[in-house]
Copies of this chain bind each other. A is one copy, B any other.
Amino acid sequence: MVTISIIGSGNVAQHLADAFAGKDAISLEQVFSRNVANIPTSIPKEKIIYNYSELKEVDLYIIAVSDSAIAEVSSKIPFSEKLVVHTSGSQSIGILDDKNRKGVFYPLQTFTKNKPVDFGTIPICIESEFSDDYQLLELVAKSISAHPYAIHSAQRRALHVAAVFVNNFTNHLYKIAADICAESKIPFEILKPLIAETADKIMVLSPSDAQTGPAKRNDINTIQTHLEFLQADNLKNIYKTLTQSIIDDGKKL
């Protein structure tokens, strides 16, 4: 059995704590929180601590805090030669304090408060200094049915940028569409099947093969009509930039 303590109480910490609960291969020993209100209700009170001095010795410390706090938190763990990992997509393994064995355990998913996620579909990007530690992290990932991937820091940086495109930016396009609907008194609901199918297509087709629309067809008339419809400079600019990028991509093929 792997003994684990989680440091942090945000979305990632909470979803991990919930995923570890009741798993035979894992014993979640403690959850460190600066904020009592954030602690998931599934964690027994006696396991919650508020001071680093209360941290017990375990096999694995998972630091799930904001990027800017990782270095400081890792320096406050009152042990050495232990396995300490962070869960960040954008921070290198080297940001962790040198006194412990470093690793990364990055679940590539968007976590929403109060919306359960199925860890069975989540990739976990793993990195470690030592191969024994890699095997332990792999075992932890598998014990919550997640898919472990060996991803080094440079790859993880690329992946984090890619994730911003498919998650943050995509969601912003949904937001723009919702605004357009609201202005024309159209229920946003009407776009949801299209949003779902657009994501679903990618499961069977490459994004290149799935591309359709006026930019792909180089349909200048429709593009012009759309640009005339969009009043805000900001939206015109986004429309033009993405349309040009699709047209340029077509030329490369």
Contact = CB atoms under 8 A, between A and B. Distances in A.
Contacts of A167: 194-195, 198, 212-213
Contact of A110 (B109, B197, B242): B197
B108 A193 contact: yes
A198 B171 contact: yes
Interface stretch (A23-31, A33-41, A244-252): A244-252
Contacts of A177: 162-163, 165-166, 207
Given A159-B190, A173-B170, A186-B155, A201 B238 contact: no
DSSP class of A's interface residues: helix, strand, loop or mixed?
Answer: helix
Interface of A: 67-68, 90, 108-110, 112, 115, 117, 121-123, 125, 149, 151, 154-155, 157-178, 180-181, 183-208, 210-216, 219, 221-222, 225-226, 229-230, 234, 237-239, 241-242, 245-246, 248-249
- Residue of A108, A125, A172, A188 with most chain B CB atoms under a 10 A cut-off: A172
Number of chain copies forming the complex: 2
Pairs of residues from A and B, 6 with the lowest C-beta to C-beta distance, nearest first: A168-B213, A199-B199, A175-B207, A158-B184, A162-B177, A174-B207
